[in-house]
Structure 1
Amino acid sequence: MTVTPDLTAPRLAGAELLRSAFRRHAAGVAVITARDGAGPVGFTATSLTSVSAEPPLLSFGIGTGSSSWPAVSAAEYVGVHLLGEHQEDLAATFARSGADRFAAPTVWREGPEGVPVLDGVLAWLVCRVVGRVPAGDHRVVLAEVVLGDPAGDGSPLLYHQGRYNGLRD
């Protein structure tokens, strides 16, 4: 069945149009971590994108008003963690403003280059930041993958229509 778009009532461009459209776009869920002088920081991201295989580059967006931005803005290395569908609570913790994201029950350790590495994820990567590009009230961070482990078990956690979901067969 083909659905014909309703061109008689388009919305003007703006934040609400963008949010409404992207609620319909399922995205994988990741947690980005970094370290600053005060300790580990991290946030939930659905903007993670593979950019290049040679060299291995990825990107993610972060709001300049985020509590994690000062650390990420100065970090030489960041951790990227792909979450499994069993980690909805972890995603919610890292998305919650004001939460102590690294307190129990979060299990983590200091990884290579001092990057906080979360346990139990589908995959984790340590990446060297190679650029921060201004993009409205955000920055797009470009990072080169240095090392990691893609051997976690499970299916990916997705974010769609304002909720966390798993894959359905």
Structure 2
Amino acid sequence: MSDLIADFKTAFRTHPAGIALVTAATATGPVGLTASSVASVALDPTSLVFSVTRATGTAGALLGAHSLVVHFLGTQHEDLARAFSTSGGPRFTPEQPWERLPSGEPFLPDARAAMRAVPTLVVPVGSSSLIVAEVVDVRLGPDAPPLVWHETRFRTLTD
């Protein structure tokens, strides 16, 4: 691995990032993945962006979804975030508190916030894709400490 790539990885490993769960309804059932790349893009139109690392499996299903929900997670969701970040991890089980929005997407009602969005642009970047999506609904949930990713671990923020 070149010094540039190693240094790039180190720089981002030490940069804390908020954790989100991105979900969608597909013809074959619900899909979802853990994301640390969610960012706001614009207020008009109200848009966000995130990246996926492949065009297959769950990421591929999200790339083909007509709408999706981005959930901001709290520290109480660490097990859920871990399950959705592991290939073959338990997803959408009866023990997990999922509901469905009227539009069909899986919805986590105790998320700190959940934003239903419609993808408007997919930009390929190497083996990844950036998804820009217009937010059409925001549901604010209970106040909770945010779950973050830092130094290859889920963590909580403290003052």
CA distance in 1, matches of 2:141, 2:89: 29
Match of 2:57 among 64, 67, 76: 67
Aligned length: 158
Matched, 1:133 2:126: no
Runs of at least 4 residues of structure 1 off by over 3 A? none
* Larger displacement relative to structure 2 (140-149 or 60-69): 60-69
TM-score by length of 2: 0.93
* Equivalent position amino acid for 1:13 in 2: L
Match of 1:42 among 20, 27, 32: 32
Structure (1 or 2) with the larger CA radius of gyration = 1
What is the CA deviation profile of residues 8-52 of structure 1, one whole-angstrom value per residue up to 9, with x for unaligned ones? xxx6322x3322211100000000001111100000000000000
- Residue 12 of structure 1 corresponds to 3
Shift of 1:99: 1.8
Shift of 1:66: 5.0
The percentage of counterpart residues that share the same residue type is 35
TM-score by length of 1: 0.88
Matched, 1:160 2:153: no
* Larger displacement relative to structure 2 (18-27 or 42-51): 18-27
Unmatched runs of 5 consecutive residues or more in structure 1 = 1-10
CA distance in 1, matches of 2:112, 2:33: 17
Q: Is the 8 A contact 1:27 1:158 kept in 2?
A: yes
Shift of 1:126: 0.4
